[in-house]
Structure 1
Amino acid sequence: MRRNKSKDILDYFINHYPQSLSIKKISDKFGVSERQIKNYIKQINENNSQKELILQNDNGDYFLCDDFRDMTKETSHPEYLPKERVSTIISMLVLSDTPINIFDLADELYVSRPTVESDLLKVRRTISPFKLTLDTKNDVVSISGTEKDKRRLVSYMITNETNSGLMNIEQNKFLNDSYHVDFIKDNLRIIFNQCNFVFNDYSLNNIVLHLIITIDRLKSKCSIDEVLPPNLTTHVEQQAARMIADFLSKNYDVAFSDYELRNLIIFLSCNLSTVNYNFVNEKNLSSYVSSESNYLARLILLKISDYYFLDDFDEIFATRFILHINNLLKRLRSNFSVRNPMAKDIMKTYPLIFDISVFVADIIQQETGYVINRDEISLIALHIGSFIESSKANKSKLSAIYVYSDYHQIYQYNITKLQKKYSDSINLMYSMSVEDFYSSNFSVDMIISEHPLDKGNPIVVSPFITDNELDRITNYTEHLIKQKDIKQFDISFQAMFNKNLFFRNVEGNDEFNIIENILNKIEPFDYFNSTFKENVLQREKLSSTCFQHGIAIPHSISQQVNKSFISFTCFDKYQQWGDDQVKLVIIIGIAYHERKIFRSVFNHLVKFFTDQASIQMISKCRTYEELVKTVSNLQKE
């Protein structure tokens, strides 16, 4: 069996200590490229948790650090999780200039050949959205596709392996070398300011990532040579691209061909603008966007307003959204996309907003044929979320009355303060005297009074309301809203869930097969027509409904649903669901005429299962009755 090359290279350094070794000498010794040797050295250093074992001197040669003996005593081969193995295999295949033997992959990962072959199936699934294929022949494997698509894959892998919201790619296993991000950023800012571009952190980070990948690939003699689609670019974009190409050529010793330069010009046109969008309004909008973008964006807003029962969108928001869709279409036509390191966080933290954005992506796909990735969906979510969060009508408001002592209308001070602080959560319907309160009959959620009252359980405040009293009102408001939400969910839950919709261990080959198998069990009860399955599966293909580890909520609002329903499927063992795993699958089907309830049901379920303990408790339920009782008990906590 072949030995692990990383270990062989480390042993080679140890045997030649304290000599410095040139990269060419090591490459000749092991019969692999200099680029691969650099990757092995990087891997050795990354596997050591203390500090780098192998260092580089000013001449570019490599040598062992002085205390390598103490460090190598504790160094053992890395234990990769399945997801890490897939990522590592992709890294090795992308960076290699020759096909890699499957046995070499097994040795590098310290696993068996069957394990590698299983991982390669996941690799194939990961790279397929980028129009790349995995070629396996005579025990060697490689990735095939255009250079541009390989760069798109590298960009995706780097972004998805970044745990923080900030882009940290100074050292990354998908790159051959390390790069100083701030140095590149600072020089880009100078160029962009000279060209009068308007840019933000998102666009700057995306451009830096694109350039670092470009540099790394060009240094490895991997260049774009395909004809790019036509794209209208401006003189200033062409000028900026040439300035950037000159800067990179000077500092990184890379040459930009006409194809590479054209690619950079188009990329800049999709990520930068000389227009300050603060000056764009309804009257001059047509000067900045295409009629296609205008039509598509307004169609989207009309559909999501109807589908999710949102307030009408004001023209200021509509203008910003149309501009975003216009830029998105430019990127899609040029086969570019932005990367958002916070995409996964947005999906998990704001699942309803993300779900609305997936619906937007579906409309775009139906209208244009373009498939929208998760990063682009998350940027749409930022726009949709800004509207929903600022829309007072879409918040759950409590009704209230204020009871006062009519003394020179001093109570108006408290009224003004309450309206200002609680405008999003309390609808202060009436203010009245104590005498009027007792002679009237009102049904409201809350009574705030300057006097103790013997009915209505009021919150008593002083004539000049204090901060402590405001805190009490805030706590009570949150309690009432929670109870109101629970009551509303309970009504829907009782109407939509019954014994016929509870299942256990309905397994499948993947998430799509699991969904199909569950729906096959529900189908005889006439909750939906046959095409409903296609709707749910299509939604899952657009973006995973596993918003939280342990649980997936496949769903659809459809005219193919005869009666709204919720089904629960519990599993004894975790089931693979895309990149995650689940033990609980809740399928929601909402009849189109009842679509108003979707937001409250979906939001409540997502909030309810943010706690892993709740997911585990529900997944262990053996019967319908036990599940209903567990849900009821958890709601009381």
Structure 2
Amino acid sequence: MTDKAAKIFSLLLNNDKMPLTVKKITGILELSERTVGTYLKEVYQFCAENEIEVINKPGVGISVNAGNRRDELMQMLARIEKPHYGAQYRTGYIIELLLNNWTTYTLSLFADDLGVSKNTVENDLKQVQQWLSRFSISVQKKAGAGIFLTGAELDIRRAIVEINRQFFKKSVKLPKKTLDYRLSLKTYQRLYGCYRNCDVDYYIALIQEADQNTLRDLTDSGFETLLEYLIVMEKRISLGFLVAEDEIEDVPADRPNILNYLSVYVKALKLPKGEQKFLQMVTCCLEYQNSTVRRDELFSQANPGILAFTKRLIAYLSNIVGLDFEKDELLLKSLYMFERSSLVRVRYGIDLQNPFRENIKKTYPAIFSACFAAGGLYEKEVGKFPTENELASLALLVGGAVVRSEKKVTAVIVCSSGFGTSQILARKIGDHLHNIDVLSTLSFSELHKLDLLNPMLVVTTISSLKCDRPTVEISPVLNEDDIHRLKKACLELQAEEGAEGQKITILDILKDDLIFLDVDGKAKEKILRSMTERMEKSGCVIDGFHGDVLRREQMGSTALGQGIAIPHGLSSFVKRPAIALALLNQSIDWGGEAVDIIFLLALNFGDIQNTKAFFKAFYQLTSDGHTMDLLRRARTKNEIKKIIEEHCFE
């Protein structure tokens, strides 16, 4: 409890069940009636959570009945001290109260609650506005009305979900188990703690009943998202806030009966049209545990617009990644099913949590980055850019297609050691390099069999072996250098045949003046400021690029694992495609991850050639930790360029 709420509760507790009017409380504590009314809400909440009876009789007053727990509660109140709250806590606290429609709050009340000056609260409100601007919500201050928010109801609901995901405090007695296999205990406890006046268990049972009635099981993320939005919907309707009909378009044409999923709930509440459309929209955002038969059936009745977008997305990613996905029927069907809900989520800002997001970013760093570039297609289609959760799900589908599209390099191992050693070496190569298909192991005297086997590559432990095929010499133990040489040979063999015109490489967009060595910095904002200013002086970007890069960082960390981050801004601020590279002399915190290599991107993702040049090189660089270590040890710009030149093949 806050300090003032604790004082009011202590007064009621000490008054031995005798009712006190608000006017009496204001006189004793020397507070205004408005202030007492505000903090009584917190007292009522505390009593409800701790099963303490509150008696409030109009014209008589307020009293509490703590039974034999009075001494226990008085001891607890004696331990309450006003803590020191950091800026991040204060910002979250203010946002949470404003979103929960505590419209009677003022600068003075926030200052008293948080133990800071009104000037500090004024500065905190700037951070609050910055956070809420992502949802097109504005902070308003009005004499006599306090501080309040204005914005579309749909945006308010999205912000409530987001702040509660970020700002959950374990301040209530929480349940020890959940009621559905798709709902994690952590999420169940968060919902139980955040929405304390709502019946979470009722909505769990409601969704379970809907699953049984429609034979459509939601995925875990779909279940959790629907559950939370149903709770928020009830909360907002109870306060008298409704979604306007024109805030949401009609349900997609290929899902006219989607609302049947929760038909019992809709009929019971007699929801107005705007709320029905809200529920339709949320339900369209969800993912279901569809069987292959169900997927094929839906694909046979594909929505032409969504199918056309899916094909554009596949064509774009094929160009960027440099692999032909357009013949991958499994990717087309899987991606179409994903886009049916993904496009709705992006349009309306409904963010399905992806528990594997960080793992996907680390497993497929270059593919995730390529999917970020493809986010521009979403902007053109629905006017919004996808979240990191959305991009991670897309990257997972594309990552599977990459594995299917990789061409195997056929190889023969030629050794001078025994058969057993050759077999061990073949197994090691297979474990480390999945794109190499070892056809056979041969001795030196069996070289004549090469023509019959016709391998693309000869791998040998024999020094200076003469052969008319591409050959890589390795050691019998297969060390890191050997693996690197084999990867390099495979990439060269798999490289595209020369296209018309001159190819653009990463070195064409990574100039000397944009390489930063041995950077001594502890804060990413300061480092990014130096990098963006250099880009601006070089004529690569225009004023505003720096601010856009920082806004992108607020949307989600651009750290990709392996100590790498790829901050970037929108193409509208880019005059000339460029990349800046910074090597730090020590790792710094980058959204919860340690980073010491920064690629700052100023790319126009509609420019396929330049974008492809970067992502192809980035894929090759990050697919081998050894290469990144070489970059870390580089001491000159020429060394860096040489490493990139040797490890990125066109």
TM-score by length of 2: 0.68
Q: d(CA) in 2 for partners of 1:39 and 1:111?
A: 20
Deviation at 1:237, TM superposition (A): 3.4
2:155 aligned residue (119, 141, 149)? 149
Deviation at 1:426, TM superposition (A): 3.5
Q: Residue 187 of structure 1 corresponds to which residue in structure 2?
A: 206
Cα distance change on mapping 1:606 and 1:393 into 2, 3 Å: closer
1:7 aligned residue (3, 8, 12)? 3
Cα distance change on mapping 1:173 and 1:605 into 2, 3 Å: farther
Deviation at 1:207, TM superposition (A): 0.6
Indicate yes or no: 2:442 matched with 1:432.
Answer: yes
Cα distance change on mapping 1:133 and 1:603 into 2, 3 Å: farther
Q: Residue 558 of structure 2 corresponds to which residue in structure 1?
A: 546
Deviation at 1:519, TM superposition (A): 0.7
Q: Residue 84 of structure 2 corresponds to which residue in structure 1?
A: 79
Q: Residue 466 of structure 1 corresponds to which residue in structure 2?
A: none
Greater Cα offset, 317-326 or 215-224: 215-224
SS in 1 for 2:437: strand
Equivalenced residue count is 576
Cα distance change on mapping 1:76 and 1:59 into 2, 3 Å: closer
Letter of the 2:406 counterpart: A
Unaligned runs of 5+ in 2: 27-32, 56-63, 170-182, 463-471, 492-504, 645-650
Q: d(CA) in 2 for partners of 1:90 and 1:431?
A: 67
Deviation at 1:143, TM superposition (A): 1.0
Q: Residue 138 of structure 2 corresponds to which residue in structure 1?
A: 133
Q: Residue 317 of structure 1 corresponds to which residue in structure 2?
A: 331
Indicate yes or no: 2:282 matched with 1:267.
Answer: yes
Deviation at 1:358, TM superposition (A): 1.8
Contact 1:131 1:145 in 2 (8 A): yes
Deviation at 1:16, TM superposition (A): 4.2
Contact 2:225 2:352 in 1 (8 A): yes
Q: d(CA) in 2 for partners of 1:394 and 1:534?
A: 40
CA displacement 1:354-402 (0-9 Å, x = unmatched) = 32222222112124423333443333233233434x346289x896615
SS in 2 for 1:105: helix
Cα distance change on mapping 1:190 and 1:355 into 2, 3 Å: same
Deviation at 1:150, TM superposition (A): 0.6
CA displacement 1:69-88 (0-9 Å, x = unmatched) = 55556543333332222211
SS in 2 for 1:424: coil
Contact 1:402 1:448 in 2 (8 A): yes
Contact 1:553 1:587 in 2 (8 A): yes
**Equivalent runs, 1:296-307 vs 2, <5 Å:** 296-307=309-320
Indicate yes or no: 2:85 matched with 1:89.
Answer: no
Cα distance change on mapping 1:267 and 1:312 into 2, 3 Å: closer
Q: d(CA) in 2 for partners of 1:62 and 1:447?
A: 86
Letter of the 1:308 counterpart: V
CA displacement 1:539-584 (0-9 Å, x = unmatched) = 9489556316997533589998989754328699989x99999897
Letter of the 1:8 counterpart: K
TM-score by length of 1: 0.69
CA displacement 1:508-529 (0-9 Å, x = unmatched) = 9899866542312333xxxx58
Contact 1:158 1:174 in 2 (8 A): no
Q: Residue 519 of structure 1 corresponds to which residue in structure 2?
A: 535
Deviation at 1:55, TM superposition (A): 1.7
Q: d(CA) in 1 for partners of 2:354 and 2:20?
A: 37
Contact 2:411 2:440 in 1 (8 A): no
Greater Cα offset, 414-423 or 313-322: 414-423
Letter of the 1:385 counterpart: G
SS in 2 for 1:271: coil
Q: d(CA) in 1 for partners of 2:309 and 2:554?
A: 19
SS in 2 for 1:427: strand
**Equivalent runs, 1:268-417 vs 2, <5 Å:** 268-271=283-286, 276=291, 278-281=293-296, 285-287=299-301, 289-313=302-326, 314-332=328-346, 335=348, 337-340=350-353, 342=355, 345=358, 349=362, 350-388=364-402, 390-391=403-404, 393=406, 401=413, 403=415
SS in 1 for 2:2: helix
Q: d(CA) in 1 for partners of 2:193 and 2:152?
A: 17
Q: d(CA) in 1 for partners of 2:412 and 2:17?
A: 79
Cα distance change on mapping 1:273 and 1:173 into 2, 3 Å: closer
**Equivalent runs, 1:445-456 vs 2, <5 Å:** 447=460
Q: d(CA) in 2 for partners of 1:96 and 1:537?
A: 32
Q: d(CA) in 1 for partners of 2:331 and 2:20?
A: 59
Q: Residue 452 of structure 1 corresponds to which residue in structure 2?
A: none
Indicate yes or no: 2:182 matched with 1:177.
Answer: no
Q: d(CA) in 2 for partners of 1:398 and 1:498?
A: 39
Letter of the 2:137 counterpart: L
CA displacement 1:115-142 (0-9 Å, x = unmatched) = 2222212211211222211112449321
Q: d(CA) in 1 for partners of 2:355 and 2:117?
A: 35
Greater Cα offset, 547-556 or 123-132: 547-556
Contact 1:91 1:173 in 2 (8 A): no
Cα distance change on mapping 1:605 and 1:312 into 2, 3 Å: closer
Q: d(CA) in 2 for partners of 1:399 and 1:412?
A: 13
Q: d(CA) in 2 for partners of 1:292 and 1:357?
A: 20
Q: d(CA) in 2 for partners of 1:107 and 1:566?
A: 46
CA displacement 1:203-245 (0-9 Å, x = unmatched) = 1111101111112223334333444544247675344333124
Q: d(CA) in 1 for partners of 2:585 and 2:314?
A: 39
Greater Cα offset, 375-384 or 11-20: 11-20
CA displacement 1:245-268 (0-9 Å, x = unmatched) = 467x6xxxxx74443334223432
Deviation at 1:487, TM superposition (A): 12
Letter of the 1:216 counterpart: K
Contact 1:351 1:547 in 2 (8 A): no
Cα distance change on mapping 1:144 and 1:20 into 2, 3 Å: farther
Cα distance change on mapping 1:426 and 1:143 into 2, 3 Å: same
Contact 1:55 1:65 in 2 (8 A): no
SS in 1 for 2:559: coil
Indicate yes or no: 2:230 matched with 1:211.
Answer: yes
Identity of aligned residues (%): 14
Cα distance change on mapping 1:39 and 1:272 into 2, 3 Å: farther
